[in-house]
Structure 1
Amino acid sequence: MSTHHDSAHDELTDVPLTGGLLRGALDQERTERGLLPHRLPARARAQNTDAQLAMAEAQPSGVRLALRTRATVLELETLPTKRAYVGAPPRPDGVYDLLVDGSPAGSATVAGGDVLTIDMTTGSTETLTGSTGTARFSGLAAGMKDVEIWLPHNETTELVALRANAPVEPMPTRGRKVWLHHGSSISQGSDAASPTATWPARAAALGGVELINLGLGGSALLDPFTARAMRDTPADLISVKIGINLVNTDLMRLRAFAPAVHGFLDTVREGHPTTPLLVVSPVLCPIHEDAPGPSAPDFTTLGEGRLRFRAAGDPAETAAGKLTLNVIRDELARIVKQRAADDPHLYHLDGRELYGEADYAELPLPDELHPDAATHLRMGERFAGLAFAADGPLAVTGD
């Protein structure tokens, strides 16, 4: 998009892109072309060898520019990385959401950028380099205001330039509690309509808390480096949603699962010994309730623009320790009950209270794994009501 200089007042000046303007990122990397927000710190990234996790943590779910300004025009120039899947229709461009004083005030997209093409049948990838684009927000109300630009939850976004027609300073924290959440692609946002419409973003808005979203698509796998990142991140409220990715990937058996959960929670507790900590079990996913993984893509509907998943594991294999969602739910309930005897700030939530059988009947999972946009909003409202309420495990009011 072009910049319009209708009058002297519309003259845009460059605002230095500093980490102080970013919320929700644990790290930022200076690249050849800009500033790349990361949701895992460099030490964790150095210990990771998985391309899926590397892609997910660099997609800025929950990351936003948080500004205080009188500007009526803002431009954010970025370099997105688009994903394309061989044989599937193009994915929609990532959405940038604008909030003014906490209320929705518009959205934008950025075309162009680099394109990462993924062949799901062979696993091969190819990257084509592209050009930057600009998200432009104009007609903002005059006067001093809090402005947030939420970056796309599902699209890697390098920040190249920020321009405004008035001075910009970092937004004050406003004394809100910081909620640190870790989960799977459902927590990252999967098929949510926009970055403020992912279930954690919706829950955070309703609860009046500052979100740090470590929802990592395909990658909520009890990785010790993720636990250490959480341990070292200041937070007032913490939740961990565990289960579906361990089944998707068929990564571990029951014998390894319980000690890994204990180890993950022990590590988080090293940095947050008395912080309210909520362990959330998987939401309903019928294909994996009693059938283990791995999850296998069903390519037959790809040409229609739909990818569906099925359970490739044999339910009989649970006797040998293969994990299903019901096995994981039972284990998590047992582990939390055991630990809570010595940890009065540890809580458990059955994920089916966020999305259960009645919800599936009304709002089925389009690909049998990921909730749709409407379900994200419903899950966010449910979580806020269950967790952030005055009598909830992550009560926002009080000390």
Structure 2
Amino acid sequence: MNLITIPITADLLRGALDLERTGRGLLPHRLPAWARAQCADGQLLMAESQPSGVRLAFRTRATAVELDTLPTKRVYAGAPPRPDGVYDLLIDGRLAAQASATGGDNLTIDMTTWTSEHRPGPVATLRFTDLPGGLKDVEIWLPHNETTELIALRADASVEPAPARNRRVWLHHGSSISHGSDAASPTTTWPALAAALGGVELVNLGLGGSALLDPFTARVMRDTPADLISLKIGINLVNADLMRLRAFGPAVHGFLDTIRDGHPGTPLLVVSPILCPIHEDTPGPGALDLTALSARRLGFRATGDPAEVASGKLTLRVIRDELARIVAQRAAEDPNLHYLDGRDLYGEADFTELPLPDRLHPDAAAHRRIGERFARLAFTTTGPFRNGDV
């Protein structure tokens, strides 16, 4: 089989805000270099380099495609092995094949001390064969939960960038749940599912552990072209125990002000946290459940004192109340600002049926439910993202 080597260029990628040339290949980033330079937090840098929502998109007659990648596999000491990241190949918008990359670098993380060790590994090759003949649009969605350097792309026919689709661009920011934690594959994270159902192009700034109202994230959103914008705020602020109510309200206002500097009339949806019983009434910080870890299960717990809510500590109930108040206050002068209670996406009945396996993150079935509900609540004729708003 004769394969042509295809240069991997920016016009073949969607969903990334920056591309870094490394000594081995091309590393997609979801935050630009100037933003990364403003925060040296290892969790943020790991999260933004994991290409949730990033995909290669090209038009070709090829029936065989190969992709060389260098993934970074996370290994949590004492915890069960994590499954390999999944690559979803779509043809004309429909899932046609899946693959995982073996090899790659290993990042071993000790969650009791939050130290890590990085070990280099070999490049992996993914092969997609027996693709249908004829001209088609191909997308390869990169793993949402594995840092992925792109080394080489090959095909048995020429490749050109997929033509721009006449679709609105949806820019979303949130926590690990929006990032896709515990989803089955990159096209089944709840934002990817909602985007497909809503017929929009996704730019996903879901950043695991890092939806912390950082000013640089607001400026990135301000400067990123978008027709629709949403923010899912709350859970990371509680489990990081990062701020008190006095700081939270002004920080939300400032975040929204910055976005509005670049998108003054864009539909903007503020989404409060989904149900998470451990943090509904108990503040953070969140911590690893060592009892679960000793049984080789991953679990989390809340360690704060509910009595401290009176002095300004944040819980999910406090955050929902404050977000609803802020949006109602601002919406009087900003008719394109909207609020969605996260419990309308995943609430008490959902927790009974589809409990959070680690008490923090939804599983694959819950991701699907959240994505379908978001699409129904946001993109249909009565939703804030209905066609005609732009």
TM-score range, shorter chain: over 0.9
Kindly indicate whether the alpha-carbon contact (under 8 Å) linking 1:71 and 1:166 is maintained by their aligned counterparts in 2: yes
From 300, 305, 309, give the equivalent of 2:296: 305
CA shift, 1:35, in A, is 0.3
From 220, 230, 240, give the equivalent of 2:221: 230
Residues 1:137 and 2:121 aligned together: no
Deviations 1:296-345 (A, max 9, x none): 11122224431111110000000110000000000000000000011010
Kindly indicate whether the alpha-carbon contact (under 8 Å) linking 1:177 and 1:396 is maintained by their aligned counterparts in 2: no
Matched AA of 1:323: L
Aligned to 1:352: 343
Q: Distance in 2 between matches of 1:311 and 1:59?
A: 26
Residues 1:277 and 2:268 aligned together: yes
Residues 1:164 and 2:149 aligned together: no
From 215, 225, 240, give the equivalent of 2:206: 215
From 47, 54, 58, give the equivalent of 2:49: 58
Q: Distance in 1 between matches of 2:277 and 2:379?
A: 28
TM-score scaled to structure 2, two decimals?
Answer: 0.99
List alignment gaps of at least 5 residues for structure 2.
Answer: none
Q: Distance in 2 between matches of 1:153 and 1:230?
A: 20
Describe the SS at the equivalent of 2:87.
strand
Aligned to 1:79: 70
Q: How does 1:2-17 map to 2 (within 5 A)?
A: 5=1, 11-17=2-8
Kindly indicate whether the alpha-carbon contact (under 8 Å) linking 1:180 and 1:211 is maintained by their aligned counterparts in 2: yes
Q: Distance in 2 between matches of 1:398 and 1:154?
A: 33
From 329, 349, 369, give the equivalent of 1:338: 329
Matched AA of 1:62: G
Aligned to 1:371: 362
Kindly indicate whether the alpha-carbon contact (under 8 Å) linking 1:207 and 1:396 is maintained by their aligned counterparts in 2: no
Matched AA of 1:100: I
Deviations 1:3-56 (A, max 9, x none): xx2xxxxx1110000011000000010000000000001110010121000000
CA shift, 1:182, in A, is 0.1
Matched AA of 1:349: L
Kindly indicate whether the alpha-carbon contact (under 8 Å) linking 1:40 and 1:57 is maintained by their aligned counterparts in 2: yes
CA shift, 1:397, in A, is 4.9
Q: Distance in 1 between matches of 2:389 and 2:314?
A: 39
Q: Distance in 2 between matches of 1:88 and 1:390?
A: 45
CA shift, 1:122, in A, is 1.4
Deviations 1:191-250 (A, max 9, x none): 000000000000000001000000000000000000000000000000000000000100
Deviations 1:109-142 (A, max 9, x none): 0011000000111111101110100111111111
Kindly indicate whether the alpha-carbon contact (under 8 Å) linking 1:198 and 1:377 is maintained by their aligned counterparts in 2: yes
Kindly indicate whether the alpha-carbon contact (under 8 Å) linking 1:56 and 1:216 is maintained by their aligned counterparts in 2: yes
Q: Distance in 1 between matches of 2:240 and 2:31?
A: 21
Describe the SS at the equivalent of 1:262.
helix
Kindly indicate whether the alpha-carbon contact (under 8 Å) linking 2:267 and 2:389 is maintained by their aligned counterparts in 1: no
Q: Distance in 1 between matches of 2:86 and 2:126?
A: 9
Matched AA of 2:117: E
Describe the SS at the equivalent of 2:283.
coil
Deviations 1:336-369 (A, max 9, x none): 0000011010000000000000000000000110
CA shift, 1:396, in A, is 3.3
CA shift, 1:90, in A, is 1.7
Aligned to 1:194: 185
Q: Distance in 2 between matches of 1:122 and 1:187?
A: 26
Describe the SS at the equivalent of 2:226.
coil
Aligned to 1:111: 102
Describe the SS at the equivalent of 1:79.
strand
TM-score scaled to structure 1, two decimals?
Answer: 0.97
Describe the SS at the equivalent of 1:227.
helix
Aligned to 1:93: 84
